[in-house]
Structure formats: structure tokens, C-alpha cells
Chains A and B, each alone.
Chain A
Amino acid sequence: NAGVTQTPKFRVLKTGQSMTLLCAQDMNHEYMYWYRQDPGMGLRLIHYSVGEGTTAKGEVPDGYNVSRLKKQNFLLGLESAAPSQTSVYFCASSLGQGAFFGQGTRLTVV
């Protein structure tokens, strides 16, 4: 039982490049979330999903897209990376109350 797993753990992108972050959970959770956390700051919700095939915008969705084609996976895409997207990205999953987090992806955009 791995819990919530994020891939990759680290990535450096050049401005304008695209990439996809993968989140996988093996707890059969309905809810999945993508957060970003900037240095010394709290968690800001980017997008979330309340079930397979559904997605919704969070607090800071601009510049990101998501997909939830399978219940266990939640993908976060950056179509054209910008330096302002340099951050640590956390995926989380839950049954609705509380959340379990992945280990995070440290993304640097240069």
C-alpha cells in the first residue's frame, strides 16, 4: 500500500516548456487535489476532482490543466511554463474529509 505517489520528485523546466505531473493513489479515494506551496507559504488549491471523469478549478487554476481519466490517477499539466510556476506541488487524496499527501514535486522554471 503505497498511499499517494507523485512523479517526478524534481524537475527543471525552461520557460515555455510543457510537462505533466502524475499523481497516483491506491486507497480508492474519490477526491484528489493538486496544491502548490511557495517558500514559507501555505497550501493553495490549483484544481481538484470529486471523482473519475470530473475536475474543478481551485483558488489558483490559471496556467494549469488537469485530467482524471482513471480513479486512481490525477494529472496536472503545465502547457507553457513560467518562472512564476516555480514551486513545490503536492497531490492529495481523500474520501472527503481530511487528506493524504504525496511527497511533493519540486519544480523550477528558469
Chain B
Amino acid sequence: GENVEQHPSTLSVQEGDSAVIKCTYSDSASNYFPWYKQELGKRPQLIIDIRSNVGEKKDQRIAVTLNKTAKHFSLHITETQPEDSAVYFCAATQRRGSNYQLIWGAGTKLIIKP
């Protein structure tokens, strides 16, 4: 089955710098890769996603890149701000017959230092 590894588990960056979180997946059949942000005490919320037929997607200060050959995808946050402090989860979705399975990474705690 699918396995998603996420690194690093904790990332501390200076406000204004960039942050990069990386995930690798094992099943080449995976075709959809969402990223979620979870603020303290809140629910996980989808912030950006990418499908397997696309190499990069941007939305203002956040971007996601996908390397299908190497089976890894990354979240990039530029010009980090205090409100970016949160736990970020990656996930991979694979289709099994008529059903989908969503497999989660373990999460990265992003700390933005003032």
C-alpha cells in the first residue's frame, strides 16, 4: 500500500525567509497530492493541491512542486509571516478500483521566528 513520509518534523525559519517541506510517496499510482494547514486548536484546512499531470502550482506565497519520477512533492512558502506558524500535513490519494484512499504524512510544525 501507499506510504507517505514527510520531512522535517519541525522547521524554524526567520520571518520573511522561505520554508520548504518535503514529502515522498511510494505508490506510483497516486495521482492527487493535497497540503493542509492546521493552526493550534483548529481543524486541518486544505491550502493547495496538485494533480499528477502538473509539475507546479502556485497560489500567492505558497507553491507546490511534484516530481513524479522521484515520487516526491514539496510545499514552498515564501516571505513567511507569523500567521504561517502551524502544522502542515501532506497527503497522497490513490485510486483503488472504484475507491480512493487518502494517505497522510506525519506533519511538519512550522515555527516563524520574529
Judge if A31 is at the interface, Cβ distance under 8 Å.
yes
| B93, A101: Cβ atoms closer than 8 Å | no
| Interface 9-mer from B39-47, B60-68, B76-84 | B39-47
Q: Do most interface residues of chain B lie in helix, strand or loop, or is the interface mixed? A: strand
Quote the shortest CB–CB distance from B52 to chain A (angstroms).
11
B-side interface size class: 10 to 19
Tell whether, in the assembled complex, residue B44 and residue A90 are in contact, meaning their CB atoms are under 8 Å apart: yes
Q: Which of A28-45 contact B (CB under 8 A)?
A: 31, 33, 41-43
Q: A42-B105, A90-B44, A103-B43 are in contact. Are A97 and B100 (CB under 8 A)?
A: yes
CB-based contact B44/A43 at 8 Å: yes
Residues of B within 8 A of A90 (CB): 43-44
Contacts of A41 in B (CB 8 A): 107
Interface residues on A, range: 10 to 19
Instruction: Indicate if B89 sits at the interface (CB-CB under 8 A).
Output: yes
Residues B22-51 near A (CB distance < 8 A): 32, 34, 42-46, 49
**A100 close to B (CB within 8 Å):** yes
B81 to chain A minimum Cβ distance, whole angstroms, is 23
Please give, as numbers and ranges, the residues of chain B lying within 8 Å of A33 by CB-CB distance: 102
B73 beta carbon closer than 8 Å to chain A = no
Bound complex: CA A59 to CA B91 (Å): 15
Do the beta carbons of B43 and A104 come within 8 Å of each other?
yes
B44 in contact with A98 (CB, 8 Å): no
Q: List chain A residues, Cβ under 8 A from B104.
A: 42-43
A-contact bits for B70-111, CB 8 A (1 contact / 0 none): 000000000000000000010101010001101011110000
A residues in contact (CB < 8 Å) with B: 31, 33, 41-43, 50, 90, 94, 96-104
